[in-house]
Amino acid sequence: MREYDKTIAAAINQFLEDDDWNYDFDEEKGEFHFNLNLDSKLASTKIIVRVGDDHFYTLSYVALNASEDVRADMCELLTRINYGLLNGNFEMDFDDGEIRYKSFNDCDGITPTPAIIKDSILVPASMLRRFGDAIIAVMFGLQNPKEAVDAVRNS
């Protein structure tokens, strides 16, 4: 069993219950699992909220992995997207091409409020919704990274 703060987990659980979310909680790992529909070519995202001893973070996953031949372009795209972001960042695993958005929340000495928890879930999902079409465009060779991110930022 992984150590995590039960008070933080209880606050997240209460938020999800109050807001009527459909989710699973892995008590052994201190993880909440659920899916969200997106208004983009990505269609949906798997969300994992991991609770630590004094923090929690949210991971929002792209359903498709970048193939090896486009990982360098995907890295460029994600770097271009990440530049200037205020809350979180995109990450890619170079070994398997997994892409996700991560948002971190320090809870040292505090219990997260419903507003903090809501933002921790909605910001990663909205980043995937906003940049999902650019990720797909680069993943399938439809645009180069600069064109893809410029198309999103100029729309």
pLDDT (tens, 9 = 90+) of the chain, 155 residues, equals 889 999 999 999 999 999 999 999 999 999 999 999 988 888 899 999 999 999 999 999 999 999 999 999 999 999 999 999 999 999 999 999 999 999 999 999 999 999 999 999 999 999 999 999 999 999 999 999 999 999 999 98
Q: What is the pLDDT of residue 1?
A: 80
Residue 96 lies in a domain: yes
Residue 141 lies in a domain: yes
pTM beyond cutoff 0.85? yes
Residue 83 lies in a domain: yes
Domain that holds residue 132: 6-153
- Based on the structure, what is the number of domains in the chain? 1
Q: What is the pLDDT of residue 39?
A: 84
Residue 1 lies in a domain: no
Instruction: Please give the Cα distance from 12 to 10 (Å, whole number).
Output: 5
CATH number of the structural domain spanning residue 64: 3.30.1460.70
Structure tokens at 80: 């271009």
Q: What is the pLDDT of residue 125?
A: 94
* Closest C-alpha among 21, 22, 14, 40 to residue 148: 40
